[in-house]
Amino acid sequence: MTVPVITLDGPSASGKGSVASLVASRLGFHYLDSGSLYRLVALLALRRGVALDDAAALASLALTLPVRFTGGRIVAEGDDVSDALRAEEVGNGASKVGALPEVRAALLERQRAFAVEPGLVTDGRDMGSVVFPDAALKVFLTADAAVRADRRYKQLIGKGESANLAQITQDIIERDARDAARAVAPLRQEPDAMLLDTSAMTIDEAVDQVAQWYASRRSSGL
């Protein structure tokens, strides 16, 4: 690829979004949270009463997403939906619509269009396997399910929202299984992806590791 791309794939609540955005900031690269596009499809479907298994209607919605990324916020149809996209219902809906081939195909080129100079850091489920198979660096970022559930629980409580740790844990386990088993672009570690388990790491430590891997790739000419 002429534009350097770093992909961070991994399961829900593994911290890949936080790590990816900080890596992008450190390197001066653009950042794409690919999951936000799937969450946006799910959110608008829920708002418009579109069934989450109506592939044709969801694909049409994906093709015409009225979205802008500005100042770290996500704006759709004139509304800042950044916080709404983080709701558990929307996250689970995103996992369902993301399993539909029609939706994934509709969003493929829109995601690739984000790869512009000086570079891109992106996170998701299939960034390194499908969207950017020739990425300069691929990272598969994960953490123990119990650790991920605890992180999500604390995040929700910190926002003043009600949360049930047992339910969050169950949702994460079910989503992992659904994402790994889907027929199109399943969640998996690519053979050429670096494995980064953040279970016992801070965000800063994870960012440092990704940045070091990328610097090593650049210095070796890969």
User: What's the distance, CA 68 to chain centroid?
Assistant: 17
> Does 12 appear as a known binding residue?
yes
> Does 13 appear as a known binding residue?
yes
**C-beta separation of 196 from 206 below 8 A:** yes
Tokens coding 112: 């690739």
Neighbours of 141 (CB within 10 A): 27
Give the tens place of pLDDT for each residue, 89-145. Answer: 998 899 899 889 999 999 998 899 899 999 999 999 889 999 999 999 999 999 999
pTM, two decimals, is 0.83
> Does 11 appear as a known binding residue?
yes
* Complete DSSP assignment for 169-202: HHHHHHHHHHHHH-SSS-----TTSEEEE-TT--
Please give the average per-residue pLDDT across 33-57, as a whole number: 94
Contacts of 140 (CB under 8 A, 6+ apart): 8, 9, 10, 128, 189, 190, 193, 194, 195, 196
Which pLDDT value is given to residue 66? 81
> Does 14 appear as a known binding residue?
yes
Rg of the chain, C-alpha, whole Å: 17
Domain boundaries, the chain: 5-219
**pLDDT over threshold 80, residue 185:** no
- Which class is domain 5-219? alpha beta
Nearest to 42 by CA among 51, 34, 31: 51
Please give the Cα distance from 99 to 179 (Å, whole number). Answer: 7
Please give the average per-residue pLDDT across 183-200, as a whole number: 90
Q: How confident is the model at residue 181 (pLDDT cuts 50, 70, 90)?
A: confident
Which pLDDT value is given to residue 175? 86
> Does 66 appear as a known binding residue?
no
Residue 28: exposure state from Cβ atoms within 10 A (0-12, 13-18, ≥19): exposed
The length of the chain in residues reads: 222
**pLDDT over threshold 90, residue 1:** no
Q: Provide the mean pLDDT of the chain.
A: 91
β-partners of residue 206 are none
β-partners of residue 75 are 68, 80
Which pLDDT value is given to residue 222? 59
> Does 18 appear as a known binding residue?
yes
> Does 21 appear as a known binding residue?
no
